[in-house]
Amino acid sequence: MKVTFIGGGYVGLVYSIMSAYSGHEVVCLDKDEGKIKLLRESVIPIYEPGLSEYASSVLKEGRIKFLRSYDSSISSSDLFFICVGTPSLPGKGLNLEYIYEALENLLPFLSEGSIIVVKSTVPPGTCDSLKAFLKSAGKECSVISNPEFLREGKAVRDFLNPDRVIIGTRDEKAGKALSDFYRYGKEKNIQIIYTDAVTAELTKYASNAFLAAKVGFINEIADLCEVLGADVKDVSKGMGADPRIGPEFLNPGPGFGGSCFPKDISALAFLAREKGLKSSITEAVIKSNEERAKNLAGKIIKILERNSVKPEEAAVSFFGLSFKAGTDDLRSSPALEIIKILKERVQTIAAYDPALKDKTAPLPLGILNLSSPEGARGYSDAFVIATEWEEFKNLDFSLLSGSGGSKIIIDLRSVTDRAKWRAEGFDYYSIGAVDGA
């Protein structure tokens, strides 16, 4: 099929490159000239394992074109995917101006029956409003909601093996055309769920909010484990073995972050308020995540003090700054939220993150950029593991802490070996473990 993607951000890039790889003829449009230039040279401006290899191969084979401006070559597209950003507004509703801008730019290239597919996460009702907008501009088009469920760091895998595809339209012909786009997943028996646009839009919000609630819930249980002397890992295992609960998203940690969960869950709560409903569960999940950073920062200070380290004279090293492993994305990163609070008391905060490309670039909040884990040697009053990168499992904290100084490991992701570091004389804290606090 011939398909056009508007927006070369995270979702647009993964979808356009991987659609080309799957056999479609693709155009990816982005108004950022610098980005288009890089993309034409196979330089992918996002960190997503595997994607640049796929990009080089589809560019070499001429299956994808990156364009800065709209031109008549897109008129014959079977599908127009909208993948532009929908940033939060101050009250936590969403700014849809980029979606409308994209449609206005598209107008001259649309004809009767053109199919617009909305991948951007938008409030329920948006696709119907967009359809009405196009109609008022003289274009009778189909507007389908087709939410994306890509995880950062695993997006290539998620594209190739989607666990479900949701097609939100009552226009059967348009829905069939979009299901043809997903034919690359046929032999994998992917589940296609056909519904209306409002339901599809709400399903995306409900999915992210439910996962965020699962994370918030296990974090709350982890806190209880610490005071009761229970082990949250085993609680998760025991809960997850029930197929009605499932084992995913039961790892406790410093809270959820990223560009999606915090934004989507706030938008869902905003939507409910706007409609005069009380969404007490959603509101509680937002609040508990905000409090998480505060509580963990307090715990770090407490651990320093019980080791007779004055926070005002301390140098603490963070391992991992991104909101989770497998990405360099710092947006709403729990590590940064904790550091923001710690900075009020702790003298120096340094950090190492394997995904940060420029190991010498200045970091936000005045954090010292350690170009390697070894750099932590000079900042070793406490080591805080904030992101679950594999390589942190094998770090030799004894070497990093040197001799004589304080020996503190605070593992917010439970990736390091508690028994080993305790045996080496560290004051070791990991979330939700027996004797955790």
Q: Active-site residue numbers?
A: 260
- Region of 55-63, 78-86, 256-264, 416-424 interacting with ligand UGA (CB under 6 A): 256-264
Question: What is the Cα Rg of the chain in Å?
Answer: 24
Full DSSP string of 79-99: EEEE----PBPTTS-B--HHH
Answer yes or no whether residue 323 interacts with ligand UGA by CB under 6 A. Answer: yes
- Region of 90-98, 150-158, 165-173, 222-230 interacting with ligand UGA (CB under 6 A): 150-158
Answer yes or no whether residue 324 interacts with ligand UGA by CB under 6 A. Answer: yes
Q: At what angle do helices 197-228 and 232-240 cross, to 10 degrees?
A: 140
Answer yes or no whether residue 223 interacts with ligand UGA by CB under 6 A. Answer: no
Answer yes or no whether residue 251 interacts with ligand UGA by CB under 6 A. Answer: yes
Answer yes or no whether residue 353 interacts with ligand UGA by CB under 6 A. Answer: no
Instruction: For residue 306, count CB atoms less than 10 angstroms from its CB and return exposed for 0-12, middle for 13-18, buried for 19 or more.
Output: exposed
- Region of 85-93, 142-150, 185-193, 297-305 interacting with ligand UGA (CB under 6 A): 142-150
Binder of ligand UGA out of 80, 159, 256, 389 (CB under 6 A): 256
- In the complex, what is the shortest distance from the CB of residue 260 to ligand UGA, in angstroms, rounded to a whole number? 3
Site residues for ligand UGA, 294-313, by CB under 6 A, read none
Binder of ligand UGA out of 26, 202, 215, 296 (CB under 6 A): 215
Site residues for ligand UGA, 27-46, by CB under 6 A, read none
- In the complex, what is the shortest distance from the CB of residue 326 to ligand UGA, in angstroms, rounded to a whole number? 8
Answer yes or no whether residue 258 interacts with ligand UGA by CB under 6 A. Answer: yes
Answer yes or no whether residue 151 interacts with ligand UGA by CB under 6 A. Answer: yes
Instruction: For residue 300, count CB atoms less than 10 angstroms from its CB and return exposed for 0-12, middle for 13-18, buried for 19 or more.
Output: buried
Answer yes or no whether residue 407 interacts with ligand UGA by CB under 6 A. Answer: no
Q: What is the rounded CA–CA span in Å between residue 176 and residue 309?
A: 65
Answer yes or no whether residue 167 interacts with ligand UGA by CB under 6 A. Answer: no
Binder of ligand UGA out of 30, 48, 148, 411 (CB under 6 A): 148
- Region of 17-25, 245-253, 340-348, 352-360 interacting with ligand UGA (CB under 6 A): 245-253
The count of C-alpha atoms lying within 13 angstroms of the C-alpha of 349, restricted to the half-sphere facing its C-beta, is 29
Q: What is the rounded CA–CA span in Å between residue 170 and residue 274?
A: 26
- In the complex, what is the shortest distance from the CB of residue 390 to ligand UGA, in angstroms, rounded to a whole number? 14
Answer yes or no whether residue 337 interacts with ligand UGA by CB under 6 A. Answer: no
Extended strands (E) in 312-411: 315-319, 348-352, 368-369, 382-385, 408-411
Range list of H helices, 22-80: 33-40, 51-60
DSSP-assigned beta bridge partners for residue 195: 168
Q: Pseudo-torsion of CA 201, 206, 207, 208, nearest 10°?
A: 100
Q: What is the rounded CA–CA span in Å between residue 122 and residue 248?
A: 25
DSSP-assigned beta bridge partners for residue 369: 351
Full DSSP string of 377-402: GGS-SEEEE-S--GGGGG--HHHHH-
- Region of 54-62, 255-263, 403-411, 416-424 interacting with ligand UGA (CB under 6 A): 255-263
Site string for ligand UGA, 261-280 (x = CB under 6 A): x-------------------
- Region of 63-71, 95-103, 170-178, 249-257 interacting with ligand UGA (CB under 6 A): 249-257
- In the complex, what is the shortest distance from the CB of residue 75 to ligand UGA, in angstroms, rounded to a whole number? 30
Q: How many residues bind ligand UGA (CB under 6 A)?
A: 20
Residue closer to ligand UGA (CB basis): 87 or 405: 87
- In the complex, what is the shortest distance from the CB of residue 288 to ligand UGA, in angstroms, rounded to a whole number? 12
Answer yes or no whether residue 208 interacts with ligand UGA by CB under 6 A. Answer: yes
Query: For residue 126, what are its two tokens?
Result: 């948006």
Answer yes or no whether residue 119 interacts with ligand UGA by CB under 6 A. Answer: no
Q: Is 320 helix (H, G, I), strand (E, B) or coil?
A: coil
Q: Is 423 helix (H, G, I), strand (E, B) or coil?
A: helix
The count of C-alpha atoms lying within 13 angstroms of the C-alpha of 403, restricted to the half-sphere facing its C-beta, is 0
Answer yes or no whether residue 381 interacts with ligand UGA by CB under 6 A. Answer: no
Query: For residue 63, what are its two tokens?
Result: 């299956």
268 closest CA partner among 335, 209, 346, 352:
209
Contact positions toward ligand UGA, by CB under 6 A? Answer: 121, 148-152, 208, 211, 215, 249-251, 253, 256-258, 260-261, 323-324
